[in-house]
Amino acid sequence: MKKLTVLLVALLASSTMFAQTCIDDAWQCLRQNQAPKAKKFIESCMEAYPDNAQVWLMKANVYVSLYNSEQAKLDKDPNYVSRYPDALMIANEAFVKALQLDKNVQPKTNMLGAIDGQRLCAEPIYQLGIESLKKGDYQKALDYFTLAAKNFELGKSSTNAAMAYVQAALIYRDKLNDKENSSAMFAKAIANKKDFADAYVELYYLYLEMNDTVRCGTTIENALKNVPADKQNSLAEPMMNYYSMTNQGEKLLALCDTVILNNPKDVNMAAVCANYLSNYKSFAKAEEILNKALAAEPNNFKLNEQMGYRYYEEMQSLEEQAAQYIKDKKYNEAIALRNSPEMKDLVQKGYEWANKAYNIDPDHLDNMLHLRQLMVKLGMTVPQELNDKINARQR
């Protein structure tokens, strides 16, 4: 039994020695900038020693060298056709495999270790994702971005990891129509960069599209907890949406006051606030905000449109009240409300502002629809041009 044990140890030592020899051959080739030759040696090694961590680590280094030499040729000649288009991915897979076989595997002198190698691959793999995205190869781009994100995480590069996960999330959402995986990728982006305001915004609207009010609320809460106050501007609109959707009027009004106070010259934010306030039937507050903004920019389309929308929405609220009267068989009250001076005033003012907005920019469908409806209510003839534009946009 002893003789057999000694023989087995001798055979293992011999096998390790031969594996080391072919690793050394590949190593020497790399030191002499002969990556293709090193590739031949390492392929022979792989056939004989497929479970040797050192072999896998050297393979990774060989393919990194091949990738670098290919990039140098492409820099000199953009028309060069790469002989090893998957070199970087093969290198990354080999680094991972080496660690799986031996978590303590060490590189030879001037070679990359398994962890450092994956970190180094992160940025170029991310760029491969960008290139694949431009070409419309979304699945391949997704593979590149998720791998790049993991490699960035290894390097403690949290911001870069977050950006890579966002790219993956956008592909799942916009190209593959996979909302659950998209939300998971946005969540990973936020886990890497907790103050990533834009990721919270994208995640909020994704949950809104999924009709998941609970996760909408959780996203807003986490964003307010983790994003510094001076970076919360982009959170304002989803917060307004959430407070309006969940009937939290006091919070909506307070938020609009804060946003306008902090952004006194931002007419776009004034228009956004007015829109949500009108939806929430806070018509006087919406008008107050719009009047201040219009004093500075009287010909701004969004401001004029929203002022028209403010009167249109109040008119609609009276129409809803009249409809309820009819439902309750209070026909006289319904007729009186629809013919009231208040209703006529709202229709007239709504028309004037919507028409002004249309004259500033005649290509916005919502404003065109409101304008046409208000003209009909006023008994006006709707121009054929307006009808044609609406019909063209609705096809």
Question: What residue ranges do the domains of the chain occupy?
Answer: 21-112
Residue 75 has which token pair?
A: 């820099």
Does residue 167 contact residue 129 with C-beta atoms inside 8 Å? yes
* Mean pLDDT value across the chain: 91
What are the tens digits of pLDDT across the range 276-320?
999 999 999 999 999 999 999 999 999 999 999 999 999 999 999
Per-residue pLDDT, 18: 45
Q: What is the DSSP letter of 124?
A: H
Which CATH fold would you assign to the domain 21-112?
1.25.40
Residue carrying the six token digits 């306008």: 260
Per-residue pLDDT, 1: 43
Mean pLDDT is lowest, of 105-114, 198-207, 286-295, 363-372, for 105-114
C-alpha distance from residue 73 to each of 78, 83, 91 (Å) = 8, 11, 19
281: left (phi over 0), alpha (psi -120 to 50) or beta: left
Per-residue pLDDT, 15: 42
Per-residue pLDDT, 146: 96
C-alpha distance from residue 370 to each of 176, 289, 351, 390 (Å) = 35, 21, 8, 11
**Rounded Cα distance, 302 and 121, in Å:** 46
How many C-beta atoms lie closer than 10 Å to residue 329's C-beta?
8
Residue carrying the six token digits 């606030």: 273
What are the tens digits of pLDDT across the range 258-272?
999 998 899 999 999
The yes-or-no verdict on residue 17 having pLDDT over 90 is: no
Q: What is the DSSP letter of 389?
A: H
- Mean pLDDT for 83-110 is 91
Per-residue pLDDT, 21: 78
157: left (phi over 0), alpha (psi -120 to 50) or beta: beta
Does residue 142 contact residue 170 with C-beta atoms inside 8 Å? no
